[in-house]
């Protein structure tokens, strides 16, 4: 692990040099040995991240450019550049980009590695078997496995899953 502070990205430069139609994660923190994750996400005007819930992590969302809204079920929160939003774990939310699109940074504790655990206690003699294919639940943009059996949008980067 490298313990030397350094500049990893200049967000304005990343936004300016990304193709105008590029959406989803434009940058991800990928340093070895890190204890946190961060992503720069861009949504085009009117794009949505469907309602979802993060069950494991609190997420801090910082609006970098543009505007939008977050529907929490109980209320709609307006987002503008420099807005900082806390999304506590288990909260339900849906994002909609405004007329100029929305670019935001998400920061959260690093996700635990993916594991498959049995839903019930398995006898010691059980040797397993072939698990179900879950490739249709893996985000095509960032690789996150969705807990939703029929995902529409990725809860990490906002990318739309392909139609089935």
Element containing residue 15 per DSSP (H, E): helix 11-17
Minimal CA–CA distance to 158: which of 48, 39, 14, 40? 48
Which value, in Å, is the radius of gyration of the alpha carbons in the chain?
18
Q: CA 157, CA 163: separation in Å to the nearest integer? A: 17
d(CA 121, CA 123): 7
Domain of 96, CATH number, reads: 2.60.120.10
Residue 87 lies in a domain: yes
Model's pTM, two decimal places? 0.67
Q: What's the domain range around 70?
A: 11-120
Condensed to tens digits (0 to 9), the pLDDT of residues 84-96 reads 999 999 999 999 9
Tokens of 164: 């089935």
Q: How confident is the model at residue 136 (pLDDT cuts 50, 70, 90)?
A: confident
Domain contains 129 = no
In a domain, 34, yes or no: yes
Classified as helix, coil or strand, 98 is strand
């Amino acid at each position: 692990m490298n313990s030397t502070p350094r500049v990893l990205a200049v967000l304005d430069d990343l936004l300016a040099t990304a193709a105008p139609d590029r959406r989803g994660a434009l940058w991800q923190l990928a340093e070895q040995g890190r204890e946190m994750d961060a992503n720069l996400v861009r949504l085009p005007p009117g794009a949505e991240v469907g309602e979802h819930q993060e069950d494991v992590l609190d997420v801090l969302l910082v609006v970098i450019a543009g505007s939008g809204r977050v529907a929490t079920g109980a209320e709609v929160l307006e987002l503008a550049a420099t807005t900082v939003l806390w999304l506590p774990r288990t909260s339900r939310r849906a994002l909609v980009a405004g007329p100029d699109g929305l670019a935001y940074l998400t920061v959260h504790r690093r996700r635990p590695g993916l594991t498959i655990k049995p839903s019930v206690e398995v006898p010691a003699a059980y040797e397993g078997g072939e698990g179900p294919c879950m490739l249709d639940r893996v985000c095509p943009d960032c690789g996150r496995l969705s807990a939703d059996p029929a995902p529409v949008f990725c809860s990490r980067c906002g990318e739309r899953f392909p139609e089935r």
